[in-house]
Amino acid sequence: MDDDRPLHGIRVLDLTNVLAGPYCSYQLMLLGAEIVKIERPGNGDLARSLGPEPALNRAALGASFLAQNAGKKSVELDLKDTGDRTVFESLVHEADVLLENFRAGVLDRLGYGWEVLHRLNPRLIYCAISGFGQTGPMRHAPAYDQIIQGLSGMMSVTGTPDTAPLRVGFPVSDTVGGLVAALSISAALAGRTRTGKGVALDVSMLETSLSAMGWAMSNYLVSGVPPEPMGDQNATAAPSGTFHAADGPLNIAANRQEQFETLCRLIGRPDLATDERFAEREARKQHRAALNDEIDTALRRRPAGEWETLLAAAGVPAARILTVAQAAQLDQLRDRGFFTDLEFPAHPGRTLRVSGNGVLVDGVPMRPPAPPPLLGEHNAEFKEVAAP
């Protein structure tokens, strides 16, 4: 399968650490690229020390690192060391992509800004991921995911009027930044087949987060209506949000008129579809609280799982609200091969399970070909070949 993956034959020098950059290169790896992870000697990616198991953190195999670095190769290089710089430049000459997520200007101060890299390899795709981009008054400011969530307005619309602002429960700005970077790199590689030249890509996590906010941003830009926190309700439609069955919560998104009418019939309340408060889309939004109360009362007659099966079969989007542990056990994910079990690095007998990317190519899931690397595991493979 490796030879058939779309990015087979593409080599990426990955100078990133923690999440946004490693997530980007993990997506490229799953699609077939060879990822050569350049790490600081003796320390490596900061994510190697991040995770819930102290013993793994001490062994430079923290869960945060293991989750995003399977299938990559690790080479230790000190870009301030003359010998290592020679090796690095040799690798740049042979690479297709160089990916970094330093603060703006850091790589340039090390002597490897875009002009230098382009001179070493005119076909190189250079991608820099940072909190705010390589230009503008905030370009040098430090940024983590939570900083970006706050500045983007994302936290202001998360939660209820009483609880907002709230951080989204996973590093969504890091993730979105990594995805946009992977998309941009893939597009640049496609463009290079036409032009023969590399390009510099400047990815801002702040801007990618704003771009991903959908109606929360578009309603303001187009109509001047600032979004407000609505908890688990959807501002664009009703009934659309979280409801309460006999044994727990249930998400329902009856966003179209026919879905609403079907919902009313299946919960035994066809009268709701003709009630003047609820008959039309805008009226339902205006009387959201009253409609939700009526639906909740009807839903309490059955467990959430039964409603999920009944409603989904009739074309009404509905599903239980699961924990992360429950979601990981879904038969749907097992059927599509979303998870891959690998040999755990330096822990014989222990299995490492990692996520895929949700893409099947010709019906085949994209899987990492190897476990995450130990720090410097591939030094000999690359340093000896590149040495003068």
**Six token digits for residue 191:** 């463009």
Could you give all domains of the chain from N- to C-terminal order, each with its CATH number?
Answer: 2-212+338-386 (3.40.50.10540), 240-244+249-320 (3.30.1540.10)
- Measured between alpha carbons, how far is 159 from 346 in angstroms, rounded to an integer? 42
- Measured between alpha carbons, how far is 20 from 182 in angstroms, rounded to an integer? 10
What is the average pLDDT score of the chain? 95
Q: Over the stretch 321-339, which tens digit does the pLDDT of each residue have?
A: 999 999 999 999 999 999 9
CB 258 within 8 A of CB 265: no
Helix (H) or strand (E) holding 352: strand 351-355
Half-sphere exposure of residue 321, counting CA atoms within 13 Å on the CB side? 13
Angle, in degrees to the nearest 10, between helices 20-30 and 172-195: 50
Whole-model pTM: value is: 0.93
Q: Over the stretch 66-120, which tens digit does the pLDDT of each residue have?
A: 999 999 999 999 999 999 999 999 999 999 999 999 999 999 999 999 999 999 9
User: Which residues does the annotation mark as catalytic?
Assistant: 174
Q: Cβ of 95: how many Cβ atoms within 10 Å?
A: 24
Residue with tokens 């023969």: 196
pLDDT above 60 for 1: no
Q: Over the stretch 139-155, which tens digit does the pLDDT of each residue have?
A: 999 999 999 999 999 99
Integer Rg of the chain from CA: 25
- Measured between alpha carbons, how far is 152 from 129 in angstroms, rounded to an integer? 16
CA triple 160-164-168, angle to 5 deg: 100
